[in-house]
Structure 1
Amino acid sequence: MRLFAIRDYRHLFGAQIIALFGTGLTTVALGLLAYDLAGPSAGMVLGTALTVKMVMYVAIAPLVAAYVDRFPRRTFLVLLDVVRAAVVLALPLVTEIWHIYVLIGLLQAASAAFTPTFQAVIPDIVTNQSDYTRALSASQVASTMESLLSPVLAAVALAFMSFNWLFLGTSAGFLLSALLVLWTRIPNARPSAHTRAWDKVAAGIRTFVRTPRLRGVMALNLVVAAAGSIVVVNTVNYVRDELDGSQSEVAWMLAASGSGTLLAALALPRVLDRVKARTVMVTGAGVLVGGTIAALVLLTAGLTTWAGTAIVWTVIGIGMALVITPTGNVLRASVEPNAIPEAFAAQFSLSHLAWLITYPIAGWLGTNAGYVVTWSVLATLAGAGAIGALLLWPRHDGQRAETGTVTPNRPAPWTDRSNLSKAA
């Protein structure tokens, strides 16, 4: 495959995979740590920890994008990996719930700086548009493989050891990621079109507000967050208390959602060559709305079985992949090359702003009002986001995921004109 013939991309992709698997193990372990410390209130603890994470993402990512062209990106990425490794190593030592919040705040501050910087590096290394589409799909496959295999690995490991040892695996993963980044030739960021930091922060947000398709993406972010919060926040208590499952079975249920995401991500590259990004993403929104309604039906109809839950979790995983995978190309096709870091950082913050809304609902409302009320609220939010996307993103936008065209007949000046035939 031509994409993996690019040495620097191979290193970055390897770093991404290793760090993702470490993060996946932490996600499973963090949920079990919350249950160990808080029992029936684990959902509220986990929801609070994830809310802290979202606050860091929303606040820090735009600032990083504003300053990223002022320092070497490779050194910055390595430093952030080392910081994350050190923080995760401290998580098994916590004895109080507030310790979790402090460490998660530090960990996610580093991740909030790392992720948009990493995303903005890829188009500077993979310059061919078709290869870049494959790179985005490969990243999504890596993420979905992590969401499937990390819980499976955790389930196997938990049969032999305490969940605290999973944190050690995460720390090692971040250190290996740092080494691979260190061996990668990463060009420094292009000078931004804006000189003042706050102008850069505002520029990405303004781009989203002014661009119809990106307004649609903002609405789709809410759909993903509403459905995804059910899986991320509520699985631990749902499996342990409603299904009377074990620690390993929590991991297996998370793997069910990951399997759905993986199946969709593997099928999407060829689909995105022929189908508009809008069609794929709006379809994904419909799948997610259906998944949240199905989760609600499981509860209200008394169908809380292992098989029924696994099917619904898988459907939600499929919907998330359909929405998330094409997003990178939609962003790239909407801005000039020197504005790509700002656009990625804006999407990073805006998408996590949606999670900032839904995580507390899933965690706090789920603990205090029960799943029927909570999932009804989340299903309503998912439906509102899907309707918003249909209204905000024009049907005749003309963009396909692989091409850089912005309108059917008038490509942007930075578009590779070899792709114009695909936009017709």
Structure 2
Amino acid sequence: MRLFAIRDYRYLFSAQIIALFGTGLTTVALGLLAYDLAGPRAGTVLGTALTVKMVMYVVIAPLAAAYVGRFPRRTFMILLDVVRAAVVLALPFVTEIWQIYVLIGLLQAASAAFTPTFQAVIPDVVTDESDYTRALSASQVASTMESLLSPVLAAVALAFISFNWLFLGTSAGFLLSALLILPTRIPDARPSAHTKAWDKAAAGIRTFVRTPRLRGIMALNLVVAAAGSIVVVNTVNYVRDELGGSQSAVVWMLAASGGGTLLAALVLPRLLDRIAARTVMLTGAAVLVVGTLGAVALTVAELTTWAVTAIVWTAIGIGMALIITPTGSVLRASVAPNAIPETFAAQFSLSHLAWLITYPIAGWLGTNAGFTLTWSLLAALAGAGTVGALLLWPRHDEHADEHADEHQAAPDPATTTGPAPRTDRSTLTKAA
């Protein structure tokens, strides 16, 4: 494949995969650590820890995108990997709940700075337009595979070791990621459309607010977060307390959701060649609404069976993939090249802002008010996000691609207030 013939991209992509799997193992181990320390209140602990994570992402990511051009990007990414490795290595020694919150804050602050830096580096390393869209697709496939395989690997590992050892594997993964970045030749940051740091931090947000299809994506972010928080936050307590499962059972239920994501990822490339991204993403929203209502039905009808729960979790995984997979290509097609880092950083922050709303609901309300009320509220948020996306992303805008022709210089995308000219939708969808 021509894309992987690019040496620097090959190293960076390998680093991304290793760091992703390390992060996946940390998420699994963190849930089990929370249950070990807090028992039935593990949802509250995990919800709070993940809320800290989202605060870091929402606040730090746009600032990192604004300031990253002032530092050697390769050195910056290596330093962040080393920081993450050190923090994760400390997690097995935690004895108090507050210590989890402090370490997670440090870990996610580093991750929030790393992600927009990595996203901004890729278009400078992969300069061909078609190769870049394939790079977007490869990154999404890597994320998809991580969501499936990390729980499976964790389940296998837990058959032989305690969950604390998963943190050690994560730490080693971050260090290996840093070693892979070390030999890369990452060019200096390209000049931004905005010279002042705060202007750059706000530019991506303005683009989302003023561009119809990006406003639709903001609404879809809420749908993903509402459904996904049920799986991420509540699986450990639901499986352990309601289904009476073991630690390994928790991990296998998470793998069921990841399996749904993988199933959708296998089908999407051909589907997106024939169907517009808007249609696919709104279908994903509908699937997530049905999935969250299915979760509510589990508690109302007391259908606490493994098979039914796995079906609902799988459906949620499918719906999330239908929304997340086309997002990168829609963002890429909506802005000029020098606005790409700011736009991706804005999506990073805005999507995590949605999780910042839903994580506390799933964690705190789920522990204190029960799953029925909590999941009903999350289902309502998913429905509201779906309706919002329908209204905010007009149908005549679904094929728009303002910057298809090699992303030549264009007016500030923040000034885009109406639908863009119609053009071949393949550019919007071929990256998925």
Whether TM exceeds 0.5 here: the answer is yes
Alpha-carbon separation, structure 2, partners of 1:203 and 1:273: 31
**Equivalent in the alignment of 2:76:** 76
**Equivalent in the alignment of 2:416:** none
Letter in 2 for 1:82: V
Letter in 2 for 1:185: R
Contact kept? 1:399, 1:407, Cα under 8 Å: no
**Equivalent in the alignment of 1:287:** 287
Aligned counterparts, 1:1-400, within 5 A: 1-399=1-399
Alpha-carbon separation, structure 2, partners of 1:142 and 1:52: 25
Partner SS, residue 230 of structure 1 = helix
CA drift at 1:270: 2.7
CA drift at 1:269: 2.3
Contact kept? 2:287, 2:316, Cα under 8 Å: yes
Letter in 2 for 1:207: T
Contact kept? 2:218, 2:351, Cα under 8 Å: yes
Partner SS, residue 325 of structure 1 = helix
CA drift at 1:420: 5.7
Letter in 1 for 2:241: D
Q: So what's the TM-score if we normalise by structure 1?
A: 0.95
Alpha-carbon separation, structure 1, partners of 2:95 and 2:5: 47
Deviations 1:225-274 (A, max 9, x none): 00000000000000000000000110000000011111111222232233
Closer/same/farther in 2, CA of residues 2 and 203 from structure 1, 3 Å limit: same
Contact kept? 2:213, 2:398, Cα under 8 Å: no
CA drift at 1:399: 2.8
CA drift at 1:407: 9.1
Structure 1 unaligned spans of 5+: none
Higher mean C-alpha displacement, 1-10 vs 294-303: 1-10
Closer/same/farther in 2, CA of residues 152 and 53 from structure 1, 3 Å limit: same
Partner SS, residue 349 of structure 1 = helix
Alpha-carbon separation, structure 2, partners of 1:412 and 1:132: 12
Alpha-carbon separation, structure 2, partners of 1:119 and 1:10: 14
Alpha-carbon separation, structure 1, partners of 2:314 and 2:35: 24
Alpha-carbon separation, structure 1, partners of 2:274 and 2:62: 33
Letter in 1 for 2:206: R
Closer/same/farther in 2, CA of residues 34 and 4 from structure 1, 3 Å limit: same
Moved over 3 A (4+): 410-415, 419-424
Identical positions, percent: 83
Note the aligned Cα RMSD (angstroms): 1.9
Q: So what's the TM-score if we normalise by structure 2?
A: 0.93
Letter in 2 for 1:65: A
**Equivalent in the alignment of 2:402:** 406
Deviations 1:149-203 (A, max 9, x none): 1111111111111110000000000001111111222222111121111111111
Alpha-carbon separation, structure 2, partners of 1:308 and 1:137: 32
CA drift at 1:389: 0.4
CA drift at 1:302: 1.8
Letter in 2 for 1:221: N
Partner SS, residue 397 of structure 2 = coil
Contact kept? 1:141, 1:266, Cα under 8 Å: no
Partner SS, residue 310 of structure 2 = helix
How many corresponding residue pairs?
A: 416
Structure 2 unaligned spans of 5+: 411-421, 428-432
Alpha-carbon separation, structure 2, partners of 1:39 and 1:272: 44
Deviations 1:293-352 (A, max 9, x none): 111111111212101111111111111111111111111111111111111111111100
Alpha-carbon separation, structure 1, partners of 2:223 and 2:381: 7
